[in-house]
Structure 1
Amino acid sequence: MNGSVTADQYDAIVIGTSQGGRFLPVDLAKAGQRVALVERGQLGGVCVNTGCTPTKTMVASARLAYQARRGPEYGVRVGPVSVDLAAVRERKRAMVAGARENYASRLAQDGLDLIEGEAHFTGPHTIEVALSGGGTRQLTAPVIVIDTGTRPKPLEIPGAAAVPVLDSTSIMELDEVPEHLIVLGGGYIGLEFGQMFRRFGSSVTVVQSAARLLMLEDDDVSDEVAGILRDEGITVLTSSAALEVEPAGDGLRLTVRTADGVEQLEGTHLLSAIGRVPNTEALTLEAAGVRLDDRGFVEVDEYLETSVPGVYAMGDVKGGPAFTHLSYDDYRILRANLLLQEKASVRDRIVPYAVFIDPQLGRVGITEREARTRGRAIRVAKLPMSAVVRAIETGETRGFMKAVVDADNGQILGCAVLGAEGGEIMTIIQVAMLGNLPHTALSNAILTHPLLAEGLNTLFALLDN
């Protein structure tokens, strides 16, 4: 920074506006601090603009189309079902616009300055902002919070530059249903979009380089998910590496190496869902002395502080599980420490999540595989959803509930609920874990009949013998 330029002095600067960034600067300003919030793009970060809000809105449309086609199973006569993807897109855009407006309304707080532009560090506690409207501003503060999030990882195989490659953002802007969508990646994002577009009417092929889908899950969970997708007509290829892609007629041709040899897949659209990378390049963090890991994520300690005292990171940019609710918990930790002088930490926090395929996969705690790898003495309970009365009544019998319990004290260590409203059912088990309840508290509880959660009685009763 040019020494002749005077920097505007703030008490705190927040760079980026994710789930955590929407609350922290407001709270700091309400506490009497002068706060600068810097944003280079749309307010709200990934969740509001390209993540949770738009994708789950479109998932709802896809599920309705799927349920409509199942009408005859329930004695309901329906005509041919078709999807107007342009109308689905407009509904999604309206949801996003409403979420943005709600976000913007929160920022009308005395002491909080919203600065639109691209920020980069010029020193440990100084930044320069290239303003969106032109010009620059120099800012300084004793506390700086990095909240810049992530973006889709680019596809880097031969031919990728010669064909239109969709990512998790651009695929939501299509206005016509693809004839044949090829999805690269068998993780959460790839599977949500793959099932969504199959239900919209596309032929779908999922190409997964690893041996299983959802590699962080237990084998039985991955296998059940693959079976569910195949039952809906999705082609699932595992242990399959994408080698190159090229234009072919009105579409494209993807060459993959599978366990059976090299194959060529013909499709009309290609979605790359191979992961995400952090938005750290433009920050020039080396000028501040902030350390990054080997993948470019910001390194933090258990208090979310970087290698530079007074500089923090929150949300996806610091690596680890990329969940909105985790970003919100990062905010709670920083609020407690920066405003209340507490020593809140990320240590030992229980992080739940849901995969919004249908049926949902709700997960919390450790898997059976993790427990056995650690040498834990465990007991495992597993109940098919076809044994749950409510699931039978509603025709939603796919999947299962599974819980991992400490063999010595009966404490619940983790669970996977793959079934209708799996995330909601998982949350009940999470609350039991937070309260350190033994599994008998759920096997002996009076749970309302006939709810899906009533299956927890039966699941944990399997361990009572």
Structure 2
Amino acid sequence: MKKYDAIVIGAGQAGRPLSKKLAESGLNTLLIEKRWVGGTCVNDGCSPTKAMIASAKAAWTAANSKKLGLTVTEFKVDLKTILKRKDDIVHMMRKNSEEGIEETENLDLIYGTATFSGEKQITVSLNDGGQEEFKAEMIFINTGAKPSVPDIEGLSEINYLDSTSILDIQEIPEHLLIVGGGYIGLEFGQMFKRLGSKVTIIIPSDRLIPKEDEDISQEMEKIFELEEIEIYTKTKVTSFKQSAKAIVASIDVDGNARTLKFSHVLIATGRIPQTADLKLELTDVETDEEGHIKVNEFLETSSKGIYALGDVKGGPAFTHISFDDYRVIRTNLLENGQASIKNRLVPYCMFTDPQLGRIGITEQDAIEKGLDILIPSMPNSSVARSIETGDERGMIKAVVDAKTGKILGASVLAEQGGEIVSILQMAMMGGITYEQIMESVFAHPTYAESLNNLFMTIEK
């Protein structure tokens, strides 16, 4: 059994930089990865999906350019080229990550599946065969999450897709059914509609993105309706059946039974933590009912010296949160700091078109908490930049503390919504009030300048 100072399980957006930093600090470190360096984000999450979404946006722009004075009579969607571009991006990012690890002294990388064989002992079933055993006083778990598979009758009998397998699909679906209306479902739904598919989305809730404010949800539904994406709310799939020419789905629409036929099915009902292989029962590490590893505000588990980072610990499942988890560990263990995940701001962006950028609390959150708030909001049809570029879809709104004028949250459903909301995040970090933003000088005509007018609605 080989001993290391530190073992990192998983080379994702937290594990990879953490392993390098531990090694650079002089700790003899082992990094274990069962698949590919880079984790979900690089290999089958952020990078590949946003590359394909860019292709779909180009198709939409070509199809909707007439109002700008350009008539595109015909264009061809070349899926083979789209997939190659996506793969080239992934391979480049993965290769850069691998080279960074290989060039780091005191850091060993092995490929295999890690399981605990004791409190601070790890057994690795190597991908190329055989097993090895290791031990360390510090162990960091960054095994991430994987697509969840719902219990639907007949699902195992059809060739369904998930968020990973759909990235390598070799044909544009004729009619794609998406089960689930979260970020994955909406991004893929809009993307494949723009690439030529008929798309139907089924969700159990009474509206899209129910965790967001109702007006934001309504605007998103309008955007999807404009693109003729079919949405069934208050609906669940009761069974699937494979016929000779199609996949037959039996659905319950608010108590009414219906049968629909599709060429392809995407299951986008969430993700589950990858803890099953770890055999945590052989340790003192505690998990919740869903299998997420429980941690304190410093990311330490119930077993001293064992930490969990990223999606495997539950909470916001975003790449940037995983990377910030790495910062917390680095600060506390290597820099004698007191960083914490408690009360940190969690920005996120859904890469539909237009994007939905979010920070802080929503209006419905504030109301539930009984806060005294102001809610400035404005349609993008009132934004000069939106009018000039010919894309007035969506809206922007903020949640403001009525007493202090400080911003508590914001939702920006707009072209470059993720970039615009970052300005408001910086304001929240610096304690800048809405009055200060309202009176600030922004370059004209930019999307950022819309923040002037947004907060002017409070003064009217």
What is the TM-score with the length of structure 1 in the denominator? 0.97
Q: Measure how far apart 1:71 and its partner are.
A: 2.0
State the distance in 1 between where 2:294 and 2:279 align.
15
Residue type of the alignment partner of 1:29: A
Identify which of 193, 203, 207 aligns with 1:212.
207
Which deviates the most, 385-394 or 67-76? 67-76
Identify which of 134, 137, 142 aligns with 1:147.
142
Instruction: State the partner residue of 1:195.
Output: 190
> Would you say the 8 A contact 1:86–1:174 is kept in 2?
no
State the distance in 2 between where 1:63 and 1:436 align.
36
Is residue 279 of structure 2 the alignment partner of residue 288 of structure 1? no
What's the CA shift string for 1:11-63, capped at 9, x where partnerless? 11000011111201101111111000001111111000000000000000000
Instruction: State the partner residue of 2:453.
Output: 458
What's the CA shift string for 1:254-290, capped at 9, x where partnerless? 1111126111111100000000011000000110111
Q: Measure how far apart 1:393 and its partner are.
A: 0.4
Identify which of 283, 297, 314 aligns with 2:309.
314
Q: Measure how far apart 1:124 and its partner are.
A: 1.5
Residue type of the alignment partner of 2:344: R
Identify which of 344, 349, 358 aligns with 1:349.
344
State the distance in 2 between where 1:320 and 1:163 align.
32
State the distance in 1 between where 2:2 and 2:254 align.
60
Identify which of 422, 425, 431 aligns with 1:427.
422
Instruction: State the partner residue of 2:19.
Output: 25
Identify which of 42, 50, 70 aligns with 2:44.
50
Identify which of 89, 95, 103 aligns with 1:95.
89
State the distance in 1 between where 2:305 and 2:209 align.
37
What's the CA shift string for 1:96-154, capped at 9, x where partnerless? 00010111011021100001111101111111111112221111111100000000001
- Structure 1 moving runs of 4+ over 6 Å: none
Q: Measure how far apart 1:79 and its partner are.
A: 2.4
Instruction: State the partner residue of 2:441.
Output: 446
Pairing 1:236-255 to 2, within 5 Å after superposition: 236-255=231-250
Is residue 261 of structure 2 the alignment partner of residue 266 of structure 1? yes
SS in 2 for 1:142: strand
> Would you say the 8 A contact 1:120–1:283 is kept in 2?
yes
Instruction: State the partner residue of 2:118.
Output: 123
State the distance in 1 between where 2:384 and 2:246 align.
46
Identify which of 23, 30, 34 aligns with 1:36.
30
State the distance in 1 between where 2:304 and 2:435 align.
46
State the distance in 2 between where 1:289 and 1:44 align.
28
State the distance in 2 between where 1:401 and 1:448 align.
19
SS in 1 for 2:449: helix
> Would you say the 8 A contact 1:24–1:331 is kept in 2?
yes
Identify which of 145, 170, 175 aligns with 1:180.
175
Which deviates the most, 275-284 or 206-215? 206-215
State the distance in 2 between where 1:324 and 1:379 align.
31
Identify which of 389, 392, 398 aligns with 2:387.
392
Residue type of the alignment partner of 1:395: G
SS in 2 for 1:205: strand
Residue type of the alignment partner of 1:218: D
Is residue 10 of structure 2 the alignment partner of residue 16 of structure 1? yes
State the distance in 2 between where 1:71 and 1:416 align.
27
SS in 1 for 2:358: strand
> Would you say the 8 A contact 1:165–1:272 is kept in 2?
yes
> Would you say the 8 A contact 1:82–1:201 is kept in 2?
no
- Once the two structures are aligned, what percentage of the paired residues are identical? 45
Q: Measure how far apart 1:464 and its partner are.
A: 2.8
Instruction: State the partner residue of 2:79.
Output: 85
Q: Root-mean-square deviation (CA), in Å?
A: 0.9
> Would you say the 8 A contact 1:167–1:271 is kept in 2?
yes
Identify which of 47, 57, 66 aligns with 1:63.
57
State the distance in 1 between where 2:441 and 2:36 align.
47
Structure 1 portions without partners, runs of 5+: 1-6
Residue type of the alignment partner of 1:194: G
State the distance in 2 between where 1:58 and 1:428 align.
27
State how many pairs are aligned: 459
> Would you say the 8 A contact 1:84–1:176 is kept in 2?
no
State the distance in 2 between where 1:249 and 1:396 align.
43
Instruction: State the partner residue of 2:296.
Output: 301
State the distance in 2 between where 1:162 and 1:120 align.
31
